[in-house]
Structure 1
Amino acid sequence: METINLSSRQKEIIELVKKNGPITSEQLASKIGLTRAALRPDLAILTMTEILEARPKVGYIYANKTTSGLFNDYLKKIKIKDVMSKPITVDEQTTVYNAIVNLFLNDVGTIFVENKGCLVGAVSRKDFLKTAIGGTDINKVPIGIIMTRMPNIVYVESQDSVYTAAKKIIDREVDSLPVVEKTSEENEEKIKVIGKLSKTNITRLFVKMIEND
């Protein structure tokens, strides 16, 4: 994961723009003692990262982006495909008992349910607990009986942002979301699970970003 590391010249440009903005590239070049051509790559970087704003016929101004603002923008650009993990899935006919065993062996909070390779439902720890204490024979009942069924499953796609997924996790009060891939077979949409985005994935991302800062 890359962080923005500014050169000493870029930092000098920022300070000059803060004090003298709006200021043209010619004026900046004169103050630093370089040509406009020499400054062009630095100005391009500073405008692309939205630290400076270029206004036609006016010059450069400081965009007043705080560190937190840049961090937020960067976070919104991170794709789910970059941080998702392997999903734990079972077939719709799997017994509740075997699904619970699968849940604990893989140390996850939610299991996704498939039928012929397509997402049809999801079951959380809370669902399993309610079933177990309700007197149901978990050795005989298939997981399809207790799962939350499509289309009531909230999902995300690999190209969505992590920010989008985090919002959905909070809004729906779930611990994870299936990452899906949509295909079309015989004019029928198929939704296949290709990953998982959980609270743990998001926490790991924050830790990694801070460690790499």
Structure 2
Amino acid sequence: MKRHAPITGEQLAEYLGVSRPTLRSDLSLLVMLGLLDAKPKVGYFLGNTYRSSGEPLQQFHALKVKEVQGVPVNVPDSLSVHDAVITLFTENADTLLVVNDQKRFVGIVTPKDLLKITLGNTGSAAIPVSMVMTRYPNIVTLMPDDSVMDAIRKMSLHQVDCLPVIMSREEQAADPEVTGWVSKSNIIRMMADFAAAGELEEPE
């Protein structure tokens, strides 16, 4: 933004390799926080909060995933699709992390996965989530010592709202241990808290 401003939403989406609708809510929040300003038919540019405080996002370069990750909603791979739907609602979760009997990470289940299997399939409720989940290692993940900026880049590149945090595997064949997750809403909420507290300032 600093390099190319003013820049339109379409241009920004092209630079990041994502669709314009993917960025819409994020850009709206950044404008609301004062980190960006927007002018119709002109585009986005750095906002008053950003200019007055120097480099407010500089702090994110020092933040590690382990400092911001949340507690994951883990479910066993034997859980039924019916119970998975209930868990999504009761836990207010967008994604369920699936673990095996040894509590090792084996996959994820999203509302879209559950919708696909249940539409027009009267017997789908009894199917275990292991039959509908996206399996590891075909999942983008984070490590605890990755930076928050790495998490943001991965979310943007792969157009996902949540990334599991796993411990490194001692050997390639073993399933990893899941320690948490990082969501887009979690990061945006943290940015809002920083701005509200007046903490988005240039480090001395």
TM-score normalized by the length of structure 2: 0.66
| Alpha-carbon distance, 1:183 to partner | 4.2
Q: Summarize deviations over 1:17-58 as a string: whole Å, max 9, x none.
A: xxxxxxxxxxxxxxxxxxxxxxxxxxxxxxxxxxxxxxxxxx
Q: Is the 8 A contact 2:65 2:182 kept in 1?
A: yes
Q: How many angstroms apart in 1 are the aligned matches of 2:87 and 2:112? A: 15
| Alpha-carbon distance, 1:190 to partner | 3.7
- Sequence identity percentage: 33
Runs (4+) off by over 6 Å: 66-69
| Alpha-carbon distance, 1:67 to partner | 6.3
Q: How many angstroms apart in 1 are the aligned matches of 2:93 and 2:66? A: 19
Match of 1:139 among 125, 130, 147: 125
Q: Helix, strand or coil: the match of 1:122?
A: strand
Q: Helix, strand or coil: the match of 2:112?
A: helix
Partner of 2:23: none
Q: Is the 8 A contact 1:90 1:111 kept in 2?
A: yes
Match of 1:99 among 61, 64, 84: 84
Within 5 A, what are the aligned runs for 1:37-186?
70-115=55-100, 116-135=102-121, 137-184=123-170
Q: Summarize deviations over 1:76-121 as a string: whole Å, max 9, x none.
A: 2111111111100111111111111111100011001111211111
Q: How many angstroms apart in 1 are the aligned matches of 2:115 and 2:52? A: 44
Q: Is the 8 A contact 2:165 2:180 kept in 1?
A: yes
Partner of 1:196: 181
Q: Summarize deviations over 1:152-198 as a string: whole Å, max 9, x none.
A: 1111011111111111112212220111112437x854411111100
Q: Summarize deviations over 1:136-164 as a string: whole Å, max 9, x none.
A: 52332010111111111111011111111
Q: How many angstroms apart in 1 are the aligned matches of 2:64 and 2:120? A: 40
Q: Computing the radius of gyration over CA atoms, which structure comes out larger, 1 or 2?
A: 1
Amino acid at match of 2:150: T
The change in CA–CA distance for 1:194 and 1:140 in structure 2 (over 3 A counts) is same
Length, aligned pairs only? 148
Gap runs ≥5 in structure 2? 1-50, 199-204
Partner of 1:48: none
In proportion to residue count, which structure has more strand?
A: 1
TM-score normalized by the length of structure 1: 0.63
Amino acid at match of 1:149: R
Q: How many angstroms apart in 1 are the aligned matches of 2:86 and 2:59? A: 39
